[in-house]
Amino acid sequence: MIPLLQVTDLETTFYNPKKDLVAVRNISFSVNPGETLCIVGESGCGKSLTSLSIMGLLPTKGGVTNGSILLKDEELTTKSEEQMERIRGNKVSMIFQEPMTALNPVLTIGFQLRESLMIHRKMSKKQATEKSIEMLVKVGIPSPEERLKQYPHELSGGMRQRVMIAIALACEPDLLIADEPTTALDVTIQSQILDLIDELQQEMGMGVVFVTHDMGVVAEIADRVMVMYAGGVVETADVDAIFDNPQHPYTKGLLHSVPDVDNPSQELKIIEGSMPSLDDEITGCRFHPRCPFAMEKCKQQEPPTFNLNSTHESKCWLQEVTESERNTVTRG
């Protein structure tokens, strides 16, 4: 199958007068039509920057400095801003974490929904209004004709997020990027939003890149999982392999920090330390200062990506040692 999205050796950098800071380090991944790829990791690991790099929405002091982003057969890294404006909302759309800041507070819901339809689909205002009502119905918003006249502050958080989904999917994009779209919502609304995205994905056949730090969400929606740490990818696998057979110590740490509903009294394990900042100079594996299995080699050489099978990759020197040797390794 030809990937819908193919990202190769992506590097994203923030420009600084003293020293340029690399925020996303040579990451590669793909997304197939109809597939959901979850990107997981702690805050600051580069998840959202990866999404913004794909969308061409990086801050003015940041930019893609290496690599390729292919959406079908189009190279996005070479597109001008004018060309990206024709692609965003049309071929690829994004749902942001906080709809109150993503939606324009001084424009009605109807105006914001119609805008992309009139620009990308060349619809008349009447046609765009009819399509907008159809989309609001599709995302489960009651009284859609009245909602079109309202402003974002007049809607609840769950309703605003549904509006964001309606706007993102109005032009039936090939790829949807969802950047922690349920973080600010309560558990009940979160579940409804996840079900809605899944339902619309099945209906439209689009690929989905879902950014989250919540392993519970990953278990519910992912087909494949890409684990990021300090701007790089440390493990990629099918969702079952990530939960049943994680290979990287960081992935294991994330899973161990999730409460066990079957054993609520079990003490949660933490990943000691904190993620390095962008300007920290770290030799070897960037996770080794926090890794309970770190060896001398981990401190000296950055590990390559080990292919465990056709769908499972891990960037860890432990792949070179036997299970018995691994059990004897302690923090160096």
Write the pLDDT tens digit of every residue in 28-66: 999 999 999 999 999 999 999 999 999 999 988 999 999
How many C-beta atoms surround the C-beta of residue 257 within 10 A? 12
Confidence at 291, pLDDT banded by 50, 70, 90:
very high
Pairing type for strands 175-179 and 207-212 reads parallel
Q: Is 257 or 11 the better-scoring residue by pLDDT?
A: 11
**Using one digit for the tens of pLDDT, what is the confidence trace for 61-111?**
999 999 999 999 899 999 999 999 999 989 999 998 777 778 999 999 999
Q: What is the DSSP letter of 97?
A: S
Non-local (6+) Cβ contacts of 40 within 8 A are: 47, 212, 213, 215, 218, 225, 226, 227, 228, 254
User: What's the N-to-C CA distance of the chain in angstroms?
Assistant: 44
Whether residue 221 is predicted with pLDDT greater than 50 in this model: the reply is: yes
Please state whether beta strands 36-40 and 207-212 pair in parallel, antiparallel, or not at all (unpaired).
parallel
User: Residue 328 — very low, low, confident or very high, per pLDDT cuts 50/70/90?
Assistant: low
Length of the chain: 332
CB neighbour class for 68 (10 Å; exposed up to 12, middle 13-18, buried from 19): middle
**Whole-angstrom Cα distance, residue 139 to residue 168?**
11
Residues 6 or more apart whose Cβ sits within 8 Å of residue 50 = 7, 10, 12, 24, 27, 39, 211, 228
pTM of the model: 0.91
The overall longest dimension of the chain from CA atoms, in Å, is 70
Three-state SS string over 267-325 comes to CCCCCCCCCCCCCCCCCCCCCHHHCCCCCHHHHHCCCCCEEEECCEEECCHHHHCCHHH
Confidence of residue 254 (pLDDT cuts 50, 70, 90): very high
Would you state the pLDDT for residue 211? 95
Q: Kindly state the tokens that stand for 263.
A: 């054993």
Task: Give the residue extent of every domain in the chain.
Answer: 5-91+173-328
Q: Give the CA radius of gyration of the chain.
A: 21
Residue that wins the pLDDT comparison between 266 and 181: 181
- CA neighbor of 270 nearest in space, from 286, 292, 253: 253
Find out if CATH 2.60.40.10 is the number for domain 5-91+173-328: no
Lowest average pLDDT, out of 134-148, 192-206, 219-233, 293-307, goes to 192-206
Burial tier of 69 (Cβ tally within 10 Å: 0-12, 13-18, 19+): buried
pLDDT-derived band of residue 163, with 50, 70 and 90 as boundaries? very high
